[in-house]
Structure 1
Amino acid sequence: MPPLQLPPNLKFGPFPVPHQVFHLSRSSLSYGLVNLKPLLPGHVLVCPVRCVPRLSQLSPAETADLFQTVQRVSRTLERVYSASAFNIAVQDGVEAGQSVPHVHVHVIPRRKGDYDHKGGGDQIYNDMDGEEGDVGKAFLEMQRRRSELAQERKDFSNGPDSDRKPRTADEMRKEAEWLREEMEHDRVNGGEDS
């Protein structure tokens, strides 16, 4: 499968993410990317290509495309993760828990009992709001870690701050490639055109 033709210098907020992107909408207004620290398997983000911090700053075309992309991505995730439900959330502004100043929609496949070990399904909202869901901090940590690894040329552990560790660039690239193939499979077999 040929690589996606991504807009030049595509970023999620200040962070370059070309290897994490698995879907670009036909209009090239929205994209899906795998998450650095997913709360559950298949937790991805859908973002507008244009970087704005608030949902109200998107044009009507960007807003429509963003949520059509959420629908399309959800259909593929439902199939490949055997999801029976989804958490779909937008943290619209800092006070709402947004950690990267770029509109993004969390798309989290769910199954019965998948968060029982954390206290039940609604606990996921607390995790999105807290340290567990701080995407911006995770990206900064990844950049810092890469710099240290380059200087030290040895493994680095970011300590026991969380059970959920940032994934490597290679892990995210592989997941993005797999999801890209699955999105194409659904497009070809389901006749979807976005």
Structure 2
Amino acid sequence: MSKPFMFSAFNVTNQVFYQAKHSFAIVNLKPILPGHVLVIPRRIGDLFESVAKVQSVLEKIYTATASNIGIQDGQDAGQTVPHLHVHLIPRKKLDFNENDEVYQHLEKAEANLESLQATGKEAITGDQVPPTSMKKSIPRDEDRQPRTPEVMQEEATWLRSYFEQNQ
């Protein structure tokens, strides 16, 4: 990847694991479940083609049986980074007590990112086994901390290898 990948004002080059002609996918700063990623368009044209491809591979990697695909368009819809993006969350039966709890977790995660931006902090800057950082169970929302750029880069490198093998 020679040119920088920007997500609004954030340089996310090291978090990119998939790229198409006009969109790319990055690992998430505060994933709700393992495999929670963002697909970001540079142009809208191939966005959903990229979403479908990333979804298919992630469901295999994380042995998911389904996925949540979400777009929050505008601040009043919960969007905190002012750039169109798609949340893609691989799902398994009973990963939440109530299926729709995922939306409450997503809303809280977006609110936490907004708090980091307000303070001026830089929030976003292999083999078949996920990086150690992704093997943990998901803690309560209030206990989740932003991941370091190094941890996110490790996951992106791991995911990128799947896409390179399946091209």
Deviations 1:123-172 (A, max 9, x none): 1112222x3233643763896278xxxxxxxxxxxxx9822111111110
Out of 178, 185, 188, the residue aligned to residue 158 of structure 2 is 178
Q: Which structure 1 segments of 5+ residues have no match?
A: 50-61, 147-159, 188-194
The separation in 2 between residues aligned to 1:166 and 1:143, in whole angstroms, is 14
Change (3 A) 1:76 1:183: same
More helix by share: 1
Percent sequence identity is 42
Native 8 Å contact 1:132 1:162 kept in 2 = no
State the TM-score, normalizing by the size of structure 2: 0.82
Matched residue pairs, number?
A: 151
Change (3 A) 1:33 1:86: same
Matched residue, 1:36: 29
TM-align CA RMSD: 2.3
The 5 Å alignment of 1:131-150 reads 131-134=108-111, 136-137=113-114, 140=117, 144=121
Change (3 A) 1:83 1:139: farther
Matched residue, 1:66: 47
Matched residue, 2:63: 82
Of structures 1 and 2, the larger Rg is shown by 1
The yes-or-no answer on 1:16 pairing with 2:11 is yes
Change (3 A) 1:13 1:24: same
